[in-house]
Amino acid sequence: MATPVGTDVVTAIARRYIIPEVTDNIYNSNVLFFRMSRANKKIIRGGYQIEVPLMYQQFAAGGMYQGFDLLDTTPSDTTQNGAWDWKQAYVPVTVDGLTLIKTDSPEAIADFIRLYFAQAEMELADVLGTSLYTDGTNSNDIDGIVFATDDTTQAASSTYAGIDRSSNSWWNGTVTDRAGAAMDLTALNTAFGGASEGGRHPTIVVSDQTQYDRYWDLNESQQRYPSQPSGHDEQLAQAGFSNLLLNGVPWVVDSHVPTTNNEPDIYMLNEDYLYFAASPRADFYVEDFQSAINQDAMVAKLLWAGNLIVTNCSRQARVEDSA
């Protein structure tokens, strides 16, 4: 005789078998999610919004002196808070009564739930991966990479994290123009240099496959004995992400990278100033299944809440075709 599988059993199975796998599967599906999950994710508990203090200028006083010289002790106002709203994402997982009848054993329902949640994970990864590169047009989206790297030329608003870039040039990213489909080393180095200062420089370069291939071809054509810009990042390689190198920095492929004038952009990001903030109440949280009032069905949701936080936009760069 079949053993009935009710809401409590389905919920228990989902939590026992699904939750431990959700975070790794989502983060590993996207190279930036993967990088941030390893060292660039911060759990933020509560708060009307996410606020971060930003150092934007040097002290007004200080310097060399000798003996009885008078010392300037003028107080310095060197910080300003940036503010990011909480963003939310979800994917529903719905199971109808007939499916429960057909999978009426703990083993069968476990396999079904595992498969269904695997598809939900991929869907949420795509939702977040797309939102990660948004420009601020939709207030529901993550404050994406396009928004963070902008210099007021493309994003929907010149105000990022509550700070107006038009009156605070230190908050601008570096945007470099590239002529059409041409892969130009000069433009790449200009962008890389614009986002660098001393030992602080981009730590990862991200583009789609088209730009990745163009960079590979450019290096091939300029070698007497053709070879790719060799080397690899060990962390990326172990996770299965292949990469090239630009100035010793890994260049990786992300299919979510957007285009400008039908040409894919290239992003040079310093991950020292970039992280995901996430709520502990919605860090890829699987809620309990609930029965529908007017249907023979149950629904649970895979939930995420947080935002992308960039604390130094001037150390981020974008290469685009603005023609």
Q: What pLDDT, on a 0 to 100 scale, did the predictor assign at position 311?
A: 92
Rounded average pLDDT over 223-252 = 68
The predicted-structure confidence for 267-301, as pLDDT tens digits, reads as follows: 999 999 998 899 988 888 888 888 878 888 888 88
pLDDT of residue 5: 44
Beta strand 163-164 with 159-160 is antiparallel
Q: Which class is domain 7-49+81-320?
A: alpha beta
Q: Using one digit for the tens of pLDDT, what is the confidence trace for 212-233?
A: 998 888 876 655 444 445 555 6
CA 127 to chain centre: 12
Question: For residue 221, what pLDDT is reported?
Answer: 60
Residue 140 token pair: 């529901």
Residue 123: pLDDT over 50: yes
Neighbours of 315 (CB within 10 A): 25
The residues near 251 (Cβ < 8 Å, ≥ 6 apart) are 204, 205, 206, 207, 212, 215, 229, 243, 244, 245
CA distance 258 to 89: 20
Model pTM?
0.80
pLDDT at 306: 93
User: Who contacts 304 (Cβ-Cβ below 8 Å, separation ≥6)?
Assistant: 88, 89, 90, 124, 128, 278, 282, 283, 284, 285
| Per-domain residue ranges of the chain | 7-49+81-320
Q: Is the pLDDT of residue 128 over 90?
A: no
Q: What is the pLDDT of residue 201?
A: 92
What local confidence, expressed as pLDDT, does residue 307 receive?
A: 94
